[in-house]
């Protein structure tokens, strides 16, 4: 059975996005990624996203919108986005710090797929996609 994850990008209207500086897994060490984690038994992708963001960034965001799914035989990830009036209430709640960056000029140390995932949301064009890896 595939391991399932949710991952989200929280934006403000000025083009800032809250990301998390990862300590694990090893391939993400020190890199910025969206906030998220494992989908627990009996939980929907959306419920996981709400829970994970609250646990890791201290903010309850109930209105996440799914915009892309990625999957392989071993894993599946649902990606979400949401917008809040300002990111001032976001705070680090774990050993992985929350960082607010410009969504239009992502730092070089972001996980590579964010370079195309975040622009899918910031174009303001309706977009849904499914990406499958063999």
How confident is the model at residue 57, as a pLDDT?
Answer: 97
Query: With contact defined as beta carbons under 8 Å apart, do 17 and 84 qualify?
Result: no
Q: pLDDT tens string for the chain (134 positions)?
A: 799 999 999 999 888 999 999 999 899 999 999 999 999 999 999 999 999 999 999 999 999 999 999 999 999 999 999 999 889 999 999 999 999 999 999 999 999 999 999 998 875 544 344 545 44
Fold exhibited by the domain 3-132: Nucleoside Triphosphate Pyrophosphohydrolase (3.90.79)
The confidence score (pLDDT) of residue 122 equals: 76
Closest Cα to residue 99, out of 10, 53, 37, 32? Answer: 32
Could you tell me the residue ranges of all domains in the chain?
3-132
Cα dihedral angle (94, 96, 100, 103), rounded to 10 degrees? -130
Q: How many CB atoms lie within 10 A of CB 128?
A: 10
Dihedral, CA of residue 77, residue 91, residue 50 and residue 78, to nearest 10 = -10
The pLDDT of residue 134: 45
Q: How high is the pLDDT of residue 123?
A: 56
């Amino acid at each position: 059975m595939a391991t399932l994850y949710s991952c989200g990008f929280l934006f403000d209207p000025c083009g800032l996005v809250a990301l998390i500086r990862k300590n694990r897994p090893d391939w993400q060490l020190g890199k910025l990624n969206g906030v998220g984690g494992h989908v627990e038994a009996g939980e929907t992708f959306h419920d996981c996203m709400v829970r994970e963001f609250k646990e890791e960034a201290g903010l309850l965001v109930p209105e996440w919108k799914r915009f892309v799914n990625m999957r392989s035989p071993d894993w599946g990830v649902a990606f979400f986005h949401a917008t809040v009036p300002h990111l001032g209430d976001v705070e680090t709640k774990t050993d992985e710090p929350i960082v607010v960056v410009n969504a239009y000029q992502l730092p070089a140390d972001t996980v590579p797929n964010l370079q195309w995932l975040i622009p899918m949301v910031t174009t303001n064009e309706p977009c849904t996609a499914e990406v499958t890896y063999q």
